[in-house]
Amino acid sequence: MRISPSTKRLLIGIFIGLVAVVLLALAVFQWKRQQLLTSALKLVKEKIERKYPVILTLGPAKFVGFKTVEIMGMSLVPRATPTDTLLTARRLQAGLSVRSLFAGRPVFSDLQIITARLTARKTATSDNYGFLIKKKASAAPRDNSKGTNYGMLLNQALETAFDNVPGEASFQNFFVSYSSPRHSAVLRLPELKIQDGDISGRMTATVDSLANKLGISGHIEPGDYALTARVFGVGGSVQLPYVPRRFGALVSFDTVLVRLDGKEFEDNDTGGRLTVRGSLAARGFSLYHPKLAANEIEVKRGSLDFIATLGRGTVALEKGSRITVNKIVLNPEIAIWTKPSRAINLSVSSEETPANDFFDSLPTGIFDEVRGTQGTGTLRYRLSASLDMANVDSLHFDSSLRGKNFRLTRFGEEDLNKLNTPFLQTVYNDRGDSVRTFAVGPANPDFVPYNEVSPYLIHAITTAEDPRFFSHHGFMEQAFVKSAIQNIKERRFARGGSTISMQLVKNVFLTRQKTVARKVQEALMVWLIENTGLASKQRMFEVYLNIIEWGPSKYRWSSGKRGVYGVKDAALFYYGKRPSELNLPESLYLASIIPKPKYARYSFDSYGDLRRSTRYFFRLIADIMLTRGLISDNDRENLPYSLHLSGPARQYMSFAPRPDTTRAVQQADSSDFEPLNLIDLLNTGAAPDAGVNAGTPEPPKDPK
């Protein structure tokens, strides 16, 4: 069929007309869409500036695709500090629903921020970000006299964070910095994405000069206040900032998984109560602090499933929380109060754990000497404690490890059975230098069997150091509590609380370092020895007598050996006698110097008399020994308070010969050294376990 030229011209004209109409429609659409976009961004600007005291400036905006908007530049400046810009971005892109735009309700999505900088600053008097976390207005003034409401503060922080998380977002070359008079932080994010709630990204974080390279992945549901985030080190472990500066500790991990399942905030007259549920889990966790342990404390896998409540002056870890350390599962309940006084309640119990799992799960760096220990049966640990700092004497502490069908089948790094066999003992001075190595057993001519020691010395030492040594199972909690109370009051380690069993384990198997790790490991080793019947009490005391320090480590004997170690050295050094020949006052004196043998030389005044503190010790211990039937009435009545040193110690002591003239008034006892440790028993009627290896109570003044 042939089309006439006139028809062709008509069809071409119609086509050109249609194209023109479409182009015109598109032009009108583009013009209208751009006009609506400008209006929409103006509304966004007005909305943000109504909500926050800021000035929002947006650069030129245009569509770069059918649903993609590009904004060339953005800045956010607080009105209070107009010269201090909080946020800038070189370019932003976002998805925009055309239907919502024409409907007058623009919906933005898939936000992309490219080359942005967030700069937060704080001075002594102001900041440029506080408006973001400003407290909500309250209908009634809050009462702050009962302490800070931690629940309200955390709730506000969570709501601020979750309410400002975009549904879809991508950050490229995002730079975040924070500075204050005390701290600084810089975060560099080459890329961070949030898509359908999924989070992925990497960053370099530098806090107070400590830099970490991190990777992040997870999922967030802002409406439910739910989050799962995995943070891991890139090319190495992650070290926590702030902790070294604030606490002098190093804390690091390979991977941490944080999960928040939700929150519940109950507003009330005290300002509100917040409950949060979630978990924390870590792999390759490491902690170092010189007061905790000599080496890093490491846990391969650990987790905390928590139900936490926070309120006015209170923070609590509720029942239902669970701590897992490798294969050991603990059920903790902790409550801390900051007002009206600082106080804490603590309860921890472990589930029954197979013995081998228990030993395999112990953190390295804190239980190294028992690593590799194996056994049959199960073990279970329990701890309860409470303390009110307004009444320190109310301290409660109860700790126990229980075995069920438990039996040791293999020793760890240290063979605890060596207490039953001859072994070599190396002793060290306070600098950690080796002083002397000697055999503990019959092969050593200086070794003294238990039955060749004066009963006076045995009873004097046990009465002063550990009244229930021959009947307890390694521990005396009442003595520990009394020691802890004094240490808390004086804010230092002013007093010990060790039983003879604990002193023995420390001297034979462990170092002299005063760390929490050594004390905890010491307790576990004592429990293993005492509760498995590994060594008899008599054998333990025999070893103890033959290894403890009793005088100056610098003293050199004619035989060439150095120091005064063991009961034979002590008897010869001070009295030129055999241990079996020691009388009551000689035994009391040797018992008095065990806690601090280096101060033995200061036991006498310049006239050769025993100082007041030592005389007080003599009277106190002798009275207790009499009450316990360890000495006779005649022994107590005829107890002298003078002492004749006939051994080499006489040349070592710090005193001068008594002058010929008689003094009308006795010189006061005012030494410049710390007094000897004395047992803290107020009278002879006190319970036999009222004190062990006690601190330094002030002796009563001599009557004038």
The amino acid sitting at 164 is N
Report strand pairing: 374-388 vs 297-311: unpaired
Residue 698: burial class (beta carbons within 10 Å; 0-12, 13-18, 19+): exposed
In the block, residue with structure tokens 């009545």: 637
Cis peptide before 340 (omega within 30 of 0): yes
Q: For residue 99, what is the DSSP state?
A: H
Beta bridge partners of 639: none
The amino acid sitting at 24 is L
Q: Which residues of 674-688 are buried (b: 16+ CB within 10 A; e: fewer)?
A: ebbbbbbbeeeeeeb
Q: Residue 129: CA atoms inside 13 Å, Cβ hemisphere, count?
A: 14
CB-based contacts of 234: which residues, under 8 Å, 6+ apart?
202, 213, 214, 215
d(CA 237, CA 284): 8
Helices (H), 493-597: 500-509, 516-531, 537-547, 567-575, 584-592
Helix or strand (DSSP H, E) at 90: strand 87-96
Radius of gyration of the chain from Cα atoms? 38
CB atoms under 10 Å from CB of 574, counted, come to 27
Question: Coil, helix or strand for 628?
Answer: coil
Token readout for 159 is 């709501």
Q: In Å, how far are 123, 128, 254, 431, 485 from 182, measured between CA atoms?
A: 10, 16, 28, 37, 35
CB atoms under 10 Å from CB of 421, counted, come to 9
d(CA 501, CA 472): 10
CB atoms under 10 Å from CB of 17, counted, come to 10
d(CA 120, CA 86): 6
* pLDDT number for residue 81: 81
Alpha-carbon torsion 643, 649, 653, 657, what sign? positive
Please give the torsion angle defined by the CA atoms of residues 287, 291, 292 and 294, in that order, rounded to the nearest 10 degrees: 80
Q: What is the DSSP string of 647-700?
A: STHHHHSS--PPPSSPPSSPPP---SSPPPP----SSTTS-TTS-SS---PPPP
Helix or strand (DSSP H, E) at 35: helix 5-51
d(CA 352, CA 377): 10
d(CA 287, CA 294): 11
Let me know the angle formed at the C-alpha of 309 by 305 and 315, rounded to the nearest 5 degrees: 105
Task: Give the distance from CA 78 to its chain's centroid.
Answer: 40
Q: Give φ, ψ of 83 to 5 degrees.
A: -95, 5
CB atoms under 10 Å from CB of 272, counted, come to 22
Q: Residue 34: CA atoms inside 13 Å, Cβ hemisphere, count?
A: 11
Evaluate whether 590 touches 676 at the Cβ level (below 8 Å). Answer: no
Q: In Å, how far are 59, 71, 113, 516 from 62, measured between CA atoms?
A: 10, 7, 15, 65
Let me know the angle formed at the C-alpha of 428 by 426 and 432, rounded to the nearest 5 degrees: 130
The amino acid sitting at 558 is S
Helix or strand (DSSP H, E) at 78: strand 74-78
Q: Which of 176, 159, 121 is nearest to 260 (CA)?
A: 159
CB-based contacts of 340: which residues, under 8 Å, 6+ apart?
146, 147, 313, 390
Token readout for 629 is 């039937």
d(CA 256, CA 249): 19
* Residue spans per domain, the chain: 36-130, 319-413, 414-652
Evaluate whether 544 touches 529 at the Cβ level (below 8 Å). Answer: no
The whole-number mean pLDDT for each consecutive block of 10 residues of the chain, a chain of 704 residues, reads 70 67 58 75 85 89 81 89 88 76 68 89 85 57 67 89 81 91 90 89 90 94 92 91 88 95 85 92 93 91 95 93 95 92 92 95 90 94 91 88 93 92 89 88 95 96 92 79 76 70 92 84 92 93 96 85 93 95 95 87 80 90 94 92 85 60 34 32 35 37 35
Evaluate whether 636 touches 622 at the Cβ level (below 8 Å). Answer: yes
d(CA 276, CA 310): 9
Token readout for 117 is 């900088």
Q: In Å, how far are 325, 394, 403 from 382, measured between CA atoms?
A: 15, 20, 12
d(CA 219, CA 229): 6
d(CA 569, CA 577): 10
Helices (H), 164-260: 243-247
Give me the CATH code for the 414-652 domain, please.
1.10.3810.10
Evaluate whether 395 touches 488 at the Cβ level (below 8 Å). Answer: yes
The amino acid sitting at 69 is V
In the block, residue with structure tokens 């006190």: 686
d(CA 123, CA 444): 71
Q: In Å, how far are 5, 226, 284 from 229, measured between CA atoms?
A: 73, 10, 17
Residue 375: burial class (beta carbons within 10 Å; 0-12, 13-18, 19+): buried
The amino acid sitting at 616 is Y
d(CA 223, CA 158): 11
> What pTM, to 2 d.p., does this model score?
0.78
Evaluate whether 129 touches 234 at the Cβ level (below 8 Å). Answer: no
Task: Give the distance from CA 343 to its chain's centroid.
Answer: 17
